[in-house]
Amino acid sequence: MFVDYAATGQEALSRIARADDLDTLERLRVALLGKHGSVSALLKTLGGMSPEERQSEGPEIHALREQVTSALAGRKAELEQAALDARLATETVDLSLPAAEVPKGSVHPVSQVMDELAEIFADMGFAVATGPEIEDDWHNFTALNMPESHPARAMHDTFYFPDTGPHAGTHGGRMLLRTHTSPVQVRTMVSQGAPVRIIAPGRVYRSDSDATHTPMFHQVEGLVIDRGIHLGHLKWTLETFLKAFFEREDIVLRLRPSYFPFTEPSVEADVGFALENARRVLGGSGDEPGHGWMELLGSGMVNRRVIEMSGLDPDEWQGFAFGVGVDRLAMLKYGMDDLRAFFDGDVRWLRHYGFSPFDQPTLSAGVGARA
Ligand code: 2NL
């Protein structure tokens, strides 16, 4: 059989050169080099040849296949470049168009304030501790020196779970929605021992609802347990915290004796404020003319019975604790006047009072979010 390889090659090359789009070129590649392609068929003829024939025909057939393969690749590159040139010539990007609006959420003021508190207390060596919102009455009340007869334990103040079913806590008692985050601190003392330096922020629940009370609200408590801790450490910590949080060096604290079952002695802290355009602005002594004192938080030295019930020796370990409402801190710092709006989920309120998620509170850039 005589095959004019040169003519076959010329024919293939000219068809490749004439293919003027990528689809045509691909069909041509299949027709030439595919399983049933014409060049592939020539390669198969080698198998039926005598050794002498194969020696003379082989190099010609392989050269033909090389030629066709590289012509296909070359033409493909040309066509792709031409397609790109055409797009670059016709497509334009108008850089002056406004960017498409991306729907964005905002950080709730409660979350923002909790982030600020975590940042401020981290700088003083406090870790953030969390725990269950569904508690047993031992961790929520008994371990905090609140006896069976304490009014806070009454049905009308605390949300209890039904007495039946698998609700028993580790100490047997009834289950309830925690009324403060103190049980988180008890759990921390029990599980990690002393020393302790934590804040416990989170949701708490009380059966209470009016203009200034919601059944769920947010609290942050702080706890320090170490050797030789005294009221001076408590006073410095509260002052340092409040100056950093309200971003004013002139915050003045007034400590008053008070009572909590879980602290002894107990201390309530007031901050001085000035009346500016009928608004209370924190800063300065409350005793100046036109000033006043505002009750802000409760605190004290941890009652030795609480330390004991948490498994520590009160003769070796002492500490202080405090508790403050996060919602109230947010209202004082960012100027909302209605607590109930915090939990309505009204998107207009969230847009107005919410914060950018990109605006992380840091001590170096300022813990207060930019307006
Ligand atoms: C308030 C202020 C307070 C505590 C919370 C606390 C926690 C442990 C031990 C002792 Cl584990 N105390 N927390 C202390 C004082 C005040 O909250 O007005 N509460 C009714």
The model carries a pTM of 0.74
Residue to probe by mutation, ligand 1, list 126, 141, 180, most atoms within 8 Å of CB: 180
300 CA closest ligand 1 atom index: 15
Residues 157 and 207 sit within 8 Å (Cβ to Cβ): yes
Q: Can you state the angle between helices 51-90 and 38-45, rounded to 10 degrees?
A: 160
Residue in the block written with tokens 């209605």: 338
Ligand 1 — pocket residues by CB below 6 A? Answer: 182, 185-186, 221, 223, 260, 262-263, 298-300, 302, 306, 321-323
Q: What is the pLDDT of residues 217-260, one digit of tens each?
A: 999 999 999 999 999 999 999 999 999 999 999 999 999 999 99
Q: What is the pLDDT of residues 259-277, one digit of tens each?
A: 999 999 999 999 999 999 8
CA of 262 relative to ligand 1 center, distance in Å:
6
On average, the pLDDT of the chain sits at 92
Query: Using CA positions, which residue lies closest to atom 4 of ligand 1?
Result: 322
Ligand 1 centroid vs 181 CA: distance in angstroms? Answer: 9
The pLDDT tens digits for 271-318 are 999 999 888 999 999 999 999 999 999 999 999 999 999 999 999 999
**Which residue has a Cα nearest atom 8 of ligand 1?**
182
Give me the pLDDT at residue 1, please.
59
User: What pLDDT is stored for residue 257 in this prediction?
Assistant: 98
The rounded Å distance from CA 144 to ligand 1 centre is: 9
Rounded CA-CA distance 183/136 in Å is: 9
126 burial level (CB within 10 Å; 0-12, 13-18, 19+) = buried
Residue bearing the bigger pLDDT, 326 or 3: 326
Measured in Å, residue 264 CA sits from the centre of ligand 1 at: 11
pLDDT at 370 over 60: no
Report the separation in Å between the CA atom of 187 and the middle of ligand 1, taken as the mean of its atom positions: 14
Residue 169, pLDDT score: 65
Q: Which atom of ligand 1 is nearest to the CA of 189?
A: 11
Mutate to test the pocket of ligand 1, among 299, 320, 327 (most ligand atoms within 8 A of CB): 299
Residue 168 pLDDT level (bands cut at 50, 70, 90): low
145 pLDDT band, cuts 50/70/90, is very high
Residue nearest to atom 15 of ligand 1 (CA): 299
Give the up-direction half-sphere exposure of residue 75: CA atoms within 13 A in the CB hemisphere: 23
CA dihedral 350, 211, 157, 304 (to 10 degrees): 70
Residue predicted with more confidence, 164 or 42: 42
| pLDDT at residue number 170 | 66
Ligand 1 centroid to Cα of residue 257, in Å, is 14
Ligand 1 centre and the CA of 98: distance in Å?
53
Return the pLDDT at 120.
97
Nearest partner of 320 among 232, 252, 251, judged by Cα: 232
pLDDT (average), residues 352-360: 89
More confident residue, 9 or 296: 296
**Residue range 16-43: average pLDDT?**
93
203 pLDDT tier (thresholds 50, 70, 90): very high
- State in Å: Cα 204 to ligand 1 middle: 13
> Does the pLDDT of residue 166 top 80, yes or no?
no
- Cα dihedral sign, 164-167-168-173: negative
Residue with tokens 């403050």: 324
Q: Residue whose CA is closest, atom 17 of ligand 1?
A: 323
Q: 184 C-alpha to center of ligand 1: Å?
A: 11
Tell me which residue has its CA closest to atom 5 in ligand 1: 323
